[in-house]
Structure 1
């Protein structure tokens, strides 16, 4: 059987392209709360730390908030994952829905404390239910991201019977991140209702974004897969980074 070297190169190129998309999504999610809060601490931007990530829509950092979410949304829609008979494991379907939800979060803002300060996007209305629609988009986005981490990212290693697996094995990280997202989503309304502590909503939203970003960065092999990292995370024994090999 003759091996088509050209096809192998194209296939590997596609794999590494997907890794780069995953890393881009991961970095955007992970860095969003860092940039928003970090810039809030710099007087030049004239922005106070907000009670939630969503409230940055009404600050001078609005473009960072909406721009990042739109970028994440478009990347998720553009990302073509694997199909599956089970909706809960259908990578392609879930990422498309998540992408639409991310765009919804960006373009349908939460309600400001003073409704007269409402800034319009493409829906010129001050009705309060639009703010609830924003939270609906956000909740759906995070729930789907948790599903992706728990049920989809772990598929490739499900039937891997090689033992022993490190506690840092990628599937353990994906599941941990997924459950952190899920718990954080639940704690957002609970903490707000009980007024647990200052900036509780912002804290749990940031935690969910960190977990989301971490899962996608690990899936995109942001740390590489050479040596101990490859062994611990992916159960692979690579003397060099696989991505660098095919770039040469």
Structure 2
């Protein structure tokens, strides 16, 4: 029994046959799109909740990745990225050489890398904030205390090169998001052409969404790359970047753009459906 639809018609709605023989790929595309759009929105709301509960309260962190260290919302972050990663791994492309399939699989692994290997630093500029750092604890006279001198750098680090894996994974995943929007979703199938061989009007509209989403992702990548490279090359820091949480906003824009492209692909907007 094939659990996941493959082939050129994998985005077609499930018909009247055996409803347990396939998982509707359009439904999955809509779910993935909703998760990508909803994650930054949920984390932004969470960081502004008026709560004194240490498990719910969190500061507005510099980036989405820094929510890894939030006691509750870190689980939301890792869960959402793992879900997206799992979908990308099982996704099957349409090209005969399988390049689309392989790239999606690599991007899925990259999404797991983002989720499981945290970024550097703790992402907060407030004096007091709830967090789940990596600390070694020992009992002294019945009271839990820190083992040795507290070092916030190592406390918020899984291991020495975890952040390198995180950044490499993020770079590849963002590249994949843009590549899919520009070159995969915009491909025109034979049944999406009119009598003159041109793309149908509804396909042109869908491609406009895809190109716009890809452009937003590329702009977000360029902005984050500039924020990392220019201070490093010039030796002049950009304190305003973290102060404005601009990495968070760039990541949010890229995720929302990616999510909208998958929602369009999954025909969440019903009037973008192909005519039959």
Measured against the shorter chain, the TM-score band is 0.7 to 0.9
Q: How far 1:82 sits from its partner (Å)?
A: 1.7
Distance 1:178 1:101 in 2: 19
**Alignment map for 1:153-172 (pairs within 5 Å):** 153-157=185-189, 160=193, 161-162=197-198, 165=201, 169-172=205-208
Instruction: Tell me which residue corresponds to 2:134.
Output: none
Distance 2:265 2:20 in 1: 16
TM-score of the two chains, using structure 1 as the length reference: 0.76
Instruction: Tell me which residue corresponds to 1:189.
Output: 225
Instruction: Tell me which residue corresponds to 2:61.
Output: 50
Match of 1:210, SS?
A: helix
1:92 aligns with 2:124: no
User: Closer, same or farther in 2 for the Cα pair 1:164/1:69, shift >3 Å?
Assistant: closer
User: Closer, same or farther in 2 for the Cα pair 1:202/1:148, shift >3 Å?
Assistant: same
1:222 aligns with 2:268: yes
Gapped regions of structure 2 (runs ≥ 5): 1-13, 123-151, 232-237
1:207 aligns with 2:250: no
User: Closer, same or farther in 2 for the Cα pair 1:182/1:12, shift >3 Å?
Assistant: farther
Instruction: Tell me which residue corresponds to 1:173.
Output: 209
Match of 2:112 among 83, 103, 127: 103
Instruction: Tell me which residue corresponds to 1:148.
Output: 180
Match of 1:155, SS?
A: coil
Q: How far 1:93 sits from its partner (Å)?
A: 1.7
Distance 2:221 2:80 in 1: 20
Q: How far 1:135 sits from its partner (Å)?
A: 1.0
Distance 1:28 1:84 in 2: 30
1:18 aligns with 2:25: yes
Instruction: Tell me which residue corresponds to 1:246.
Output: none
Residue correspondences, number: 215
> CA-atom RMSD, angstroms?
2.8
Match of 1:82 among 94, 105, 112: 94
Distance 1:11 1:156 in 2: 29
Kept after mapping to 1: 8 A contact 2:188/2:199? no
TM-score of the two chains, using structure 2 as the length reference: 0.69
Q: How far 1:237 sits from its partner (Å)?
A: 4.0
Distance 2:26 2:79 in 1: 22
Match of 1:43, SS?
A: coil
Q: How far 1:195 sits from its partner (Å)?
A: 4.9
User: Closer, same or farther in 2 for the Cα pair 1:163/1:77, shift >3 Å?
Assistant: closer
